A and B are shown apart, each in its own frame.
Chain A
Amino acid sequence: MILIELFLVFLKIGAFTFGGGYAMIAMIQVEAEKHGWLSPEELIDFVALSESTPGPLAVNMATFVGIRTDGLLGAVIATLGIVLPSFIIILIIAKFFERFKDSKGVKGVMSGLKPAVVGMIGAALISAARTVFFPEGLQAARFTQVSFWLPLGIFALTAVLAFRKVHPIKIILLSAAIGIGAGYSLGL
């Protein structure tokens, strides 16, 4: 049943992602593909919308995927799934706080998890780049198409802005404006 599937998948994502929303993207990509819930393009759009709306990225993404998959009830179930593991784990930790904080074991585990998160965000980047630049696989013909060079130009420009600490919302708005301008003037 789709609701149970949604709940379990987001429970899993909530229980196994460390380091915030971006680390989740790789995991949602794999799951959404496996279950056929949304296309790679839709997922990237959701990342953009989640960044441009208030609230935690993870909750926004869960609500989006849930609503797209099974309507409002799906959204409630997916959001509940992503929140529940955090909620339970933090309640337990809040009770045994002092012991947790200075635990050598926790530090050891974290020394392995931090690089893993970097690798997973890298994987999300590769997958998203493939969707944007080579939606139909690697083809030499792509290098002559506007639909390859335009996104590449926007990517280069927005990357510079992102590293200059321009706010993500401004970056998204600018890229939308360029997309609209270029789309009409080039007649794409």
Chain B
Amino acid sequence: MNKNLDLFLTFMKIGAFTFGGGYAMIPLIQREVCENKKWLDEKEIADIVAISESTPGPIAINAATFVGYRTNGFSGACIATLGVVLPSFLIISLISFILNEFQNFKPVRYAFMGIRAAVLALILKALFMMFKKTKKEIFSYILMATALVLTAFVKIDAVFVIIGCGLFGLIWSLARKKEQKNDTD
């Protein structure tokens, strides 16, 4: 089969059958891309996950672009990204139209009354998972609190929060390294 067509179909399948975002997609990408198609090996997939975490944007898109590029260059990257996005796009468009028609129906209104409360629980869980992944040190806690207050109450543009915290992390890690060097001298 044509490689681009193969990439497109594989990533369309990944996009259509993973619920819950990027992290849920990783095992499926692994199975399809390593075991079935043998486009990449296990180590490369682990690298892709690491890179996707440290670059902006949806993890699924990052992974699709990366695998597509490694497999078939620029056209591969375009095709794989398109493939992973397309199912979401079609399904959401459809749901949006249906929702528009039915959102004033009583059962739908009641259902969303319950669902909104459950979304809080899902966000809380996401918060906890990310918290577990951060280093437990005073520097992290200060940044967490600052980012929270600035975003939630000061309503500052999140872009400045991200840039500021990234810069802070960079300066802090450089300063600490210098300190360690001085200690060993």
Contact = CB atoms under 8 A, between A and B. Distances in A.
A182 B121 contact: no
Interface string B133-176: 11100011101111111111001011101110111111111100
B170 to A, nearest CB: 4
The residue in B20, B118, B167 that gathers the most chain A C-beta atoms within 10 A of its C-beta is B118
A105 B170 contact: yes
B81 A87 contact: yes
The residue in A57, A64, A100, A161 that gathers the most chain B C-beta atoms within 10 A of its C-beta is A57
A128 B119 contact: yes
Contact of A168 (B20, B111, B114, B150): B20
A111 interface: yes
A132 B61 CA distance: 31
Contacts of B60: 55-56, 59
A57 to B, nearest CB: 4
Interface string A3-21: 0000000001011111111
A55 B146 contact: no
Interface string A92-112: 011001001100111111111
A112 B172 contact: yes
A158 B121 contact: yes
The residue in B19, B53, B119 that gathers the most chain A C-beta atoms within 10 A of its C-beta is B119
A30 B151 contact: yes
B92 A183 contact: no
Interface in B25-65: 25, 47, 50-62, 65
A86 B55 CA distance: 7
A187 B165 CA distance: 48
A107 B173 contact: yes
Nearest to A80: B85
A66 to B, nearest CB: 9
Interface in B62-121: 62, 65-66, 69-70, 74, 77, 81, 84-85, 87-89, 91-93, 95-96, 99, 106-107, 109-121
B122 interface: yes
B1 interface: no
Contacts of B107: 180, 183
Chain A to chain B: the 6 pairs with minimum beta-carbon distance, closest first? A112-B169, A179-B114, A119-B147, A55-B88, A86-B57, A183-B110
Interface of A: 12, 14-23, 25-27, 30, 41, 44-45, 47-60, 63-64, 67-68, 72, 75-76, 79, 82-83, 85-87, 89-91, 93-94, 97, 100-101, 104-129, 131-132, 147, 150-152, 154-155, 158-159, 161-163, 167-169, 171-172, 174-180, 182-184, 188
Interface of B: 15-23, 25, 47, 50-62, 65-66, 69-70, 74, 77, 81, 84-85, 87-89, 91-93, 95-96, 99, 106-107, 109-128, 130-131, 133-135, 139-141, 143-152, 155, 157-159, 161-163, 165-174, 177
18 contacts: A22-B130, A48-B118, A49-B92, A54-B16, A85-B57, A109-B166, A111-B135, A116-B143, A119-B147, A119-B151, A120-B151, A121-B126, A123-B152, A162-B124, A162-B125, A179-B110, A179-B111, A180-B114
